[in-house]
Structure 1
Amino acid sequence: MLTNLPSVLGLEDLDPNFNIDLEEMRDWLENGDHRESDDSYYHQLSIYQEVTDTSMDVTSIIQPILNLTTQDMEINNELCTSHLAKAYGEAMANEQREFAEVIVRRINEKVSPVGEITERLLYHSFRPLNKEANDNYLKQESCKVFDAAFEAFYRLFPNGMFAHFTANSAILEAIPHDAGVLHIVDFDMGEGIQWASMIVALAQQQKLLQQFGIISQQITLKLTSIKWKNGDCIYGQAHPHLRFEETKKRLICYANCHDLKLKVEEMELQDLVSEIKKTTRRGRRREWLAFNCMWALPHMRRRRRRRHVMEFLKVAKDFLANSDSNKTSNDKNNGIITFGDGDTWEKIEDYSCFGSFFDSYQEHYRALLESMECNFHKRLAEARIAMECLFVAPFASCVALLEKWKEVKEVCEFEAGFGLKGVRLSSESLMEAKVMAREGESLYTVRD
């Protein structure tokens, strides 16, 4: 038996022997007596019922003929939700937003925060459309333990720690011995967790250099966090300035404990450029610059827009290029740029197709959920759920998804690397990175 169904549902990948007769479907929907006796049939056909309930013009989305059969067919829930997710991507690509909303409602009926990986990902992806009390409850309960969850997440998963370690190692290995000030310009300081380890490493390095008589006095560490406007992040915290003040006090106290001079400030990018130029004109060449940009790493509470990443890196590159052109043969390098990119940008095959973008987006967060599941014992499921609510849900949500898609279309010309020259880590740092990532024991691999 043949019938025409919208291929946007993504059902073409199901069993070709699964047949549905359109007239039989209508008769069945009109006859309520069979609903309780044939539950599986109801679930298989309820997608069509949802479409008709919304008074959509189904004929406008009719695609090629499909061969489907109803006998002895059981669809695994995870497989079903995967096809629905594909259907959502196709519907959005075809600008069939009403139909996409129908699919989202169907997905929300099938997913929960305690299901399999695909189910959990779709729950977090589309939960802004859920008005269930358990959504608010999970979020509220997770926020109560944010500090403990943040520390545990950062230590358990090497994504952020590895990016910070790599950047800090590159900076420490590149600092000239005669530098009086190490000035680090940070794209987004956040919780400041990257600089705690830098404080310890720099203090130890300076003490060793003093012991061997290489330097006479310790270097001063200066941290400048770029101040962005509140509307410059896709998802962020309510009071970023208050968070900065807390981070500043904590870092200064930590530096004092390690006998390291530390200055922390916040400044807009344009003001920083002017200040650096003034410093250079005064001849203070002993200030060595490091531009640090960590973006979209899993532990970060907020995500700045991609165009601000590009703006920051362009300013850093232009400044260092001008510094190199003005230096004498006796001058050493004037600075370094460190960049940690945790986003899916380079994985998108087709910038013009929402379906390709959606698939890469889902693949990225599915990999993160797989990593979390591998690192947590089943008895710690509640802790894993809390971390997923805090560190996955905000960025996997359809709200963030659509914001990101808008950004992709605006800034699709992003150039990976910006033509910057890479710096190879020392063999010692590379070995430490492999130990940190538990290479051979986890899903992670370290490559130079």
Structure 2
Amino acid sequence: MERLGHHLLHFDDHYLREESSKNYGMALRAFYEICPYGRFAHLATNFAILESLPCDVQVIHIIDFDVGEGEQWPALLAVLNHRISVKLSVIHCKEVKKTRNNLCSFACSIGLSLQVEEIEMEELLLMFDRTVNENEWFVFNCMVGLPHMGEPKRRRQVLEFTRVAEKVVTSYKGIGMISYGEGFGSRLKPFSDDHLVSSHALFESLEWHFPSHLSLARTTMECLFVGPCVSLIDFVEDFEPFCGHGLRECRVSKERLMEVKEMVMKGRDEPYEIKVNGYCENEMVLEWRGTPMVRLYTWR
């Protein structure tokens, strides 16, 4: 709690932000491999995408709200391999050129046809002012506030993206799906009780993953990556998550649940728990000792 309080009270430390940005790439990869939050979100979502694909689809078109370093997509591309062509449209971000090059290089190495394009939010709806190809499957993917994502998107951008996704999927029945994931930071006010509880759980889980002889490495990770990310949750006042009204829920299959549990638990008795919620069981939640950390939803 003392370490958490320190980071929350120094969220405007310019020097710490600068140092964090210099080491962001390496710290992200380390955190992604150590803690299961990002891998849970990506594996569960990719599994849902594969389950949704009609057998006659020739092109899968993914519209990604926040592609980041692109860490979600190589696993999906590897599974698709030669079966299908993939088009990835990403909303404009500063790292998109590097991410595009990395993903295209990976796709080339496995012989997959991949096209990556960058679009502005304003162009999103214009993409569908045409006749939709019946052999093309659209995936609107929106991840918000996951612990590894760093600088968050603004609430207005999230709402714009999800509204367009909902409009397209409801207007053109049977052409695609929506995957929506949110971390604990996506709708919490800084210094609120819920924020403190969830941030404490994040620090506690990170400490659990580091044995005592690696305490210096854990402290470095907290100072240069986790702490600054926790303190960035001041943009989300009155944030309301996307609810998917008017869409058909995609029930979490037993196969998807077992696959994700195997990845998170690794056959051991760990303090994580995965639950399936929602009236139609389309919500999957990853908890740390009873504290919800990541929620995932899917609709068609």
TM range (shorter): 0.7 to 0.9
Aligned residues: 274
Instruction: Give the CA RMSD over aligned residues.
Output: 2.4
1:145 CA drift (Å)? 4.8
Q: Structure 1 158/296 Cα, relative in aligned 2: closer, same or farther at 3 Å?
A: same
Q: Structure 1 384/320 Cα, relative in aligned 2: closer, same or farther at 3 Å?
A: same
Matched, 1:125 2:8: yes
Q: Structure 1 177/360 Cα, relative in aligned 2: closer, same or farther at 3 Å?
A: same
1:263 CA drift (Å)? 0.3
* Larger RCO (CA within 8 A; separation ≥ 6): 2
1:437 CA drift (Å)? 1.1
1:416 CA drift (Å)? 4.9
Counterpart for residue 339 of structure 1: 180
Instruction: Decide which structure has greater helix share.
Output: 1
The 8 Å contact of residues 186 and 225 in structure 1, kept in 2 or not, is answered as yes
The secondary structure found in structure 1 opposite 2:125 is: helix
Counterpart for residue 306 of structure 1: 155
- Counterpart AA for 2:243: G
Which of 56, 81, 84 lines up with 1:219 in the alignment?
84
Structure 1 unaligned spans of 5+: 1-117, 207-217, 228-239, 325-332, 349-353
Matched, 1:389 2:223: yes
Cα distance in structure 1, aligned partners of 2:186 and 2:253: 28
The secondary structure found in structure 2 opposite 1:221 is: strand
Which of 30, 41, 44 lines up with 1:152 in the alignment?
30
- Counterpart AA for 1:156: I
The secondary structure found in structure 2 opposite 1:441 is: coil
1:128 CA drift (Å)? 4.3
Counterpart for residue 278 of structure 1: 130
Cα-to-partner distance string for 1:376-422 (whole Å, 9 max, x where unaligned): 0121122212221233222333xx35x33xx424x5xx255232433
- Counterpart AA for 1:408: E
The 8 Å contact of residues 145 and 186 in structure 2, kept in 1 or not, is answered as no
TM-score, structure 1 normalization: 0.57
Matched, 1:259 2:74: no
The 8 Å contact of residues 184 and 292 in structure 1, kept in 2 or not, is answered as yes
The 8 Å contact of residues 298 and 391 in structure 1, kept in 2 or not, is answered as no
Which of 151, 171, 177 lines up with 2:55 in the alignment?
177
Cα distance in structure 2, aligned partners of 1:423 and 1:308: 24
Cα distance in structure 2, aligned partners of 1:370 and 1:180: 45
- Counterpart AA for 1:337: I
- Trace 1:35-114 onto structure 2 (pairs within 5 A): none
**Which protein shows a greater Rg?**
1
Which of 367, 378, 381 lines up with 2:212 in the alignment?
378
1:219 CA drift (Å)? 1.5
Counterpart for residue 271 of structure 2: 443
- Trace 1:415-426 onto structure 2 (pairs within 5 A): 415-419=241-245, 420-426=247-253
Cα distance in structure 1, aligned partners of 2:111 and 2:222: 38
Structure 2 unaligned spans of 5+: 277-300
1:279 CA drift (Å)? 4.6
- Counterpart AA for 2:143: M
Give me the identity figure in percent.
36
Cα distance in structure 2, aligned partners of 1:120 and 1:298: 17
Cα distance in structure 2, aligned partners of 1:302 and 1:129: 14
1:308 CA drift (Å)? 1.7
Instruction: Decide which structure has greater strand share.
Output: 2
TM-score, structure 2 normalization: 0.83
- Counterpart AA for 1:441: D
